[in-house]
Each structure stands twice: as structure tokens, then as C-alpha cells.
Amino acid sequence: MACFFRRKVAAQLCRIFGHKEDAFIPAISAIPVSKKQISPDLQLSVSFLVNNGFLSSDGDFKTKTELLARQLKPDGVIEEVIPSRGGIHFRINKIILAKRLLEQLQKDPQGFGVQSELFRGLHGRRTLVEFSSPNIAKKFHAGHLRSTIIGNFISNLKAALRNEVIRVNYLGDWGMQFGLLGAGFQRLGSQDKLRDNPLQHLFDVYVQINREAENDEAIQEAAREFFRCLEQGDEQSLSLWKQFREITIEEYQRIYKRLGVHFDHYSGESFHQKKTLDVLQQLRDRGLLTVTEKGTGVVDVSPAGDMSSYATVQRSDGTSLYITRDIAAALDRKEKYDFDEMIYVTDKSQAVHFRQLFQILQAMQHPWAERCHHVPFGLVQGMSTRRGEVVFLEDVLDEARNRMLRNMNQSRTTKDLDDPEETAEKVGVSALIVQDFQGPITSDYKFDWDRVLQSRGDTGVFLQYTHARLRSLIRMHDGGEETSCDPLHLQDKRSILILQHLLRYDEVLYQCNQELQPRYLVNFLMTLCHLVASAHKELPVKGSSPAVAQARLHLFGGACTVLANGMAILGIKPVDKM
Ligand code: ARG
């Protein structure tokens, strides 16, 4: 939306400097609102003009700014040009601001912000996002939850920006641990338990057999034997393994659904096991594979080519490793999906792994390796539930729901809800997401349920509460038919602050997309909710004249649309009542 206004400034720059308007768009941005007073609406970065050669770098910055400001003229849309310290500020006509913004929100609520010219180059690009990627029979820990919600956010954002998104879950479904699991299941497993509570049962078997294997050479041998059978394609072993895998995917699909997350493909390390031989051959053919004295196969990834850093891609017994499977997986995905960009979301402890992966792909002369990115995130400490340390994703969701339900039961409105459990779950999950997304995702943090679920302060509960309140206001006054909105009635401070804030939405999404960080959007939505809270108090709908009431409803409706859209990108399902 900001496009229309940015273009007005750009058009003037174009008149002064020549060049296309487009050249100036990145220099113009909306000014963040200040609660104290109404600030100007847009700013022009003079440094941008200097850095891009539009203005000479000689001479004093202040004089340059003032000279340029004098050449920029108020017109019907720009009302005032104000030279200031960082650049030049513009005040725009607030009637036009209100009219344009609200009209657009009404006409194309889904397109607001995401249809911006800022994203023109992105339309139709194909992005593969790999995230969540838990390991069969092992713990689903806080790191997997983080990967799930961050990957989901990135996918939602890209999809909102009209990218074609492919969501891939890369399961830990191969490796020696499946030898143990298979041998363990043959001794301790039960098909009944596997049916009734698959994840729990597989986990129990795995923990138990690990314990027993510690001092039991026979079990270790059985595990090795089972894995050997798997690798050689023995049907019976494979069919058991397949059952573990399928049942795990089914369970996860059910639980991901509660989180509002879905995947287009479940792949995994097992798929690429077979292809690793081919990878090793390719590395050999390209002269990239070195066999060490110990008999392992390594690839030199040092800048100087002196082996000061290298990646091991083959064990001395000829078997492949995690990174070999990742090379195979990347090649396979490029061939299958022909992505423009590929994103891996894991905790930061895997940063070296991915750096080496990309270096090897580059050494193999795959130019698209440059468009592979690792999005690393920090560790979460102390996430536990009633049952103790987190082992299953479902436990986290249950805990969030139950705790939230208890909090809600203390509030009056809960009894009016059709399905309090469902609402509690949605609100609980949004609380989890918001607190995780509030800081830079690379930071570690300590998990605390009480802080997460607070209704006061900048929490997911507050976002949901504001959304529900807006929805209820709209429901209460819904006249049904299309009504007009006279922007003359939206010229008070509270209305203007909301409008100015909405003007920034596309830039906020732009920044999220540049850095693949959700916190800009979280902060934007929090500020929106605070502005709405003040407006609720000062701009009553009930009791105002019909024209004023109508205009305010349009404003609140617009704020509600942007709030809901933004929440959806974060991976939050907005509730209508709570
Ligand atoms: N399963 C792995 C883990 O739990 C994460 C997989 C990350 N993705 C990859 N392509 N290596 O640590």
C-alpha cells in the first residue's frame, strides 16, 4: 500500500535526477509511529542518494539535505517536506492516506502488503524449505519444535509473497540406530502397543534396548546384524523398518495438523542412502575425494586447498555418513523440484555441517549451491511438561492447551465458547510461537510456561485477545451490506497512528524476508495491538453518529484484517472468541 505514496516521492526525485522511479523506491520508507505525537509519514534516505551516486559525496550533509528538500515540492498528496537529521521527512495528506489504505484493505484484504512492488522480483520463484525433520524412535526435543515453527513461518511468508513453496520433512530414518531399534523390537516390541501408541512404544523400545546393549555384546551383534540386513535390502527387516516409518509419519501428520503445519513431502536419510554410492563416485570422478591413511574418504573444503579443513564423506568400511546423504538429498531435490532457492532450518550446532555441505556442492560445480541457505536457531533450555522433560511434540501441545484452559476458566467469557478446548489450544500454541519469535532466532533462551502464557504484556495471548475483541466489535455492528467510509471521521490522533502503522506493513514483511527472521512481524503486530487497545478506549463505535461509527468500524476492520493476515504468516490461527 505504501507503494502509492512512495511513488509520489519517487516521481519528484525522478524529475530532479532523471532515472526511473524504481531506482528511488528503496530510499523511501514509512516512519515508525511514535506514541507521543504524530510523526511525519515517510522518510527519504539522503545517504542512499549519495551512495548511489545521485548526490555528490562532497560537501556538508546538512546543506545537501536542505538543498534537495527545497527542490521537493508539496503536491496534492505530499503536504510538507521537512529536512531532518537522517534525511528528508514527508507529511502526507491524511484524508488520502485513510481513503487509499482502507479502500485497498476492503477490496483485496489478502493482497494487502504482499502485493507490494517490493516483492515484484519474487513472484513465481520456487523455494524449497526443509524443516522439523525429527528422528524416528528418538526424542522430539525443543529444537525440533523450533525448527517446525520457524520453517512453517518461512514457508508461510514465502507463500504469501507468491513464491511457490515446497515443504519437506527430512526424517532421521536411517543409520545404525535402526539396527538397535529393529533388534530391540524383535525382543521387546509388541504390535498391539505399536498400534495404540506408536511413538511412545518405539521410544520405549529404543531406550530400553540401548540400556541393555551397553553391557551385552550379543545385543550389539544383533543390532549390527539387523542393520546389515537393512542395508542389503532384506525383505523382512525392511518391512519392519517400513512399518516404523509409516506409523511414525501418520502420527506426526496428526500432530502437525494440531499445529497447523503440513508438508508436501516426507523424505529422509533412508532415501538417499542408496544414492550415496553415486555421490561418492561423482566426487571421485571430479577428483574431490581423498582417501586418508585411516581409509576414510574426505573432501578438502579449506580455502587454501591444504586440508586445514575437510569433511569426511565415507567411513573406512565404505559406508556413508550424514553429510553424504545430505549431498545426495540436495542433488536429488534439485533434479526433482528444480528449486530456485533451498532453505534448511536446524539449530545452530549444525552450522558447520551445512557450510561444508554447500562448499562441497560448490566444489562439484553446482552453481545453485549459492542459493542454498541454512537458517540456524539458538537452543531452548528447560522446556518440560507435567510428564517431565519433553519427549513428544504432542506433550507440548497438550500442556499448552491444558495450562491455557486453566487460565481461561478464571475468565468470565470462557463459558460462552463453543469449544473451549480448541480455543485454548489455538491460544496456547500462539503463545508458544510468539515468545519463540520475539527475539533474534539465533539467541538461546530459557523456557518458562508462566511467562509464555501471560495475558498481559507482549504475548501471543495478547495478540489473540486483541483479534477476538476486534472480531466481536465487528460482529456486533455488522450491518451486512457494504457501507461507505468517510475518511473525514478518521482524522484524530488514534486513527492516524493506526493508519500510519499499517502503511509500514509491506516493509516489515520485506525485512522478515530479507533476514528470514519473524521478530519484525511479531513486533509490528504487538504495536498494532497496543494502538488498537488505545483506540478502543478513545474511539467508541457504540453511541457515535452513524457516519462516525461506520468510519471507525472500517478502521477497526482494516486493523483486524492485517492482524489476522500477519498472525497467519507467523503460523497462528486467529480465534474469533476467547
Ligand atoms: N534429523 C536431524 C536432527 O534431528 C535434522 C535434519 C536436518 N536436515 C538435514 N538435511 N540434515 O538433528
What is the distance in A from the centroid of ligand 1 to the CA of 153? 18
Averaged pLDDT in 10-residue chunks for the chain of 578 residues:
89 92 94 90 96 92 94 95 93 97 94 92 93 94 94 98 97 93 96 95 96 95 94 94 96 95 97 92 96 95 92 91 96 98 98 98 97 97 83 92 90 78 95 95 92 88 96 86 86 97 97 97 98 96 93 96 98 95
- For a pLDDT cut of 90, what percent of the chain falls above it? 85
Q: Which of 210, 232, 262 is the last residue of a domain?
A: 262
Nine cell digits for residue 352 = 558447520
What is the distance in A from the centroid of ligand 1 to the CA of 411? 42
Q: Specify whether 61 is located in the same domain as 134.
A: no
Q: Specify whether 136 is located in the same domain as 75.
A: no
Q: Active-site residue 415, yes or no? A: no
Of the candidates 89, 94, 141, 467, the residue annotated as catalytic is 141
Ligand 1 binding pocket, CB closer than 6 Å: 130, 133, 135, 170, 172, 326, 344, 346
Minimum-distance ligand 1 atom for the alpha carbon of 346: 7
Q: Active-site residue 138, yes or no? A: yes
How many distinct structural domains can be found in the chain?
3
- Rounded distance, CA 21 to CA 9, Å? 9
On whether residue 107 sits in a domain, the answer given is no
On whether residue 355 sits in a domain, the answer given is no
Length of the chain: 578
Q: Specify whether 83 is located in the same domain as 188.
A: no
Q: Specify whether 137 is located in the same domain as 226.
A: yes
On whether residue 331 sits in a domain, the answer given is no
What is the distance in A from the centroid of ligand 1 to the CA of 50? 45
On whether residue 102 sits in a domain, the answer given is no
Q: Give 35-87 pLDDT, tens digit per residue.
A: 788 999 999 999 999 999 999 998 899 999 999 999 999 999 999 999 998 89
For 38, half-sphere exposure in the C-beta direction (CA atoms, 13 angstrom radius) is 16
State which amino acid sits at residue 135.
Answer: N
Q: Specify whether 138 is located in the same domain as 213.
A: yes
Determine phi and psi for 330, rounding to 5 degrees: -65, -45
pLDDT for res 479: 65
Q: Which of 239, 262, 285 is the last residue of a domain?
A: 262
What is the distance in A from the centroid of ligand 1 to the CA of 336? 20
With a CB cutoff of 8 Å and minimum separation 6, the contacts of 91 are: 40, 41, 78, 79, 80, 82
Minimum-distance ligand 1 atom for the alpha carbon of 171: 1
- Contact indicator for 129, 170 with CB cutoff of 8 Å: no
With the most atoms of ligand 1 within 8 angstroms of its CB, the residue from 140, 269, 275, 346 to mutate is: 346
State which amino acid sits at residue 571.
Answer: G
- Contact indicator for 396, 385 with CB cutoff of 8 Å: yes
Of the candidates 138, 275, 353, 477, the residue annotated as catalytic is 138
Interface predicted TM-score (ipTM) over 0.90: yes
With the most atoms of ligand 1 within 8 angstroms of its CB, the residue from 170, 320, 377 to mutate is: 170
Specify the 3-state DSSP secondary structure of 166: strand
Of the candidates 64, 89, 144, 272, the residue annotated as catalytic is 144
Q: Whose CA is nearest to atom 11 of ligand 1?
A: 326
On whether residue 116 sits in a domain, the answer given is no
What is the distance in A from the centroid of ligand 1 to the CA of 377? 13
Minimum-distance ligand 1 atom for the alpha carbon of 144: 4
- Contact indicator for 30, 503 with CB cutoff of 8 Å: yes
Q: Specify whether 52 is located in the same domain as 138.
A: no
Q: Specify whether 79 is located in the same domain as 135.
A: no
What is the distance in A from the centroid of ligand 1 to the CA of 93? 52
Q: Specify whether 478 is located in the same domain as 564.
A: yes
> 406, exposed or middle or buried, with CB in 10 Å at 0-12, 13-18, 19+?
exposed
On whether residue 216 sits in a domain, the answer given is yes
Q: Give the helix ranges, DSSP H, for 438-504.
A: 449-452, 460-476, 493-502
State which amino acid sits at residue 19.
Answer: H
Host domain of residue 137: 126-144+158-262
On whether residue 384 sits in a domain, the answer given is no
- Contact indicator for 383, 447 with CB cutoff of 8 Å: yes
The CATH number of the domain holding residue 509 is: 1.10.730.10
With the most atoms of ligand 1 within 8 angstroms of its CB, the residue from 324, 350, 358 to mutate is: 350
Minimum-distance ligand 1 atom for the alpha carbon of 322: 11
Minimum-distance ligand 1 atom for the alpha carbon of 347: 12
Q: Whose CA is nearest to atom 6 of ligand 1?
A: 133
Q: Specify whether 436 is located in the same domain as 544.
A: yes
- Rounded distance, CA 383 to CA 407, Å? 19
Q: Specify whether 513 is located in the same domain as 411.
A: yes
The CATH number of the domain holding residue 10 is: 3.30.1360.70
Q: Give 330-384 pLDDT, tens digit per residue.
A: 999 999 999 999 999 999 999 999 999 999 999 999 999 999 999 999 999 888 8
What is the distance in A from the centroid of ligand 1 to the CA of 166? 17
Q: Whose CA is nearest to atom 4 of ligand 1?
A: 134
pLDDT for res 386: 80
Q: Active-site residue 20, yes or no? A: no
On whether residue 322 sits in a domain, the answer given is no
Q: Specify whether 132 is located in the same domain as 83.
A: no
Q: Whose CA is nearest to atom 10 of ligand 1?
A: 326
Q: Specify whether 26 is located in the same domain as 173.
A: no
Q: Whose CA is nearest to atom 1 of ligand 1?
A: 172
What is the distance in A from the centroid of ligand 1 to the CA of 401? 28
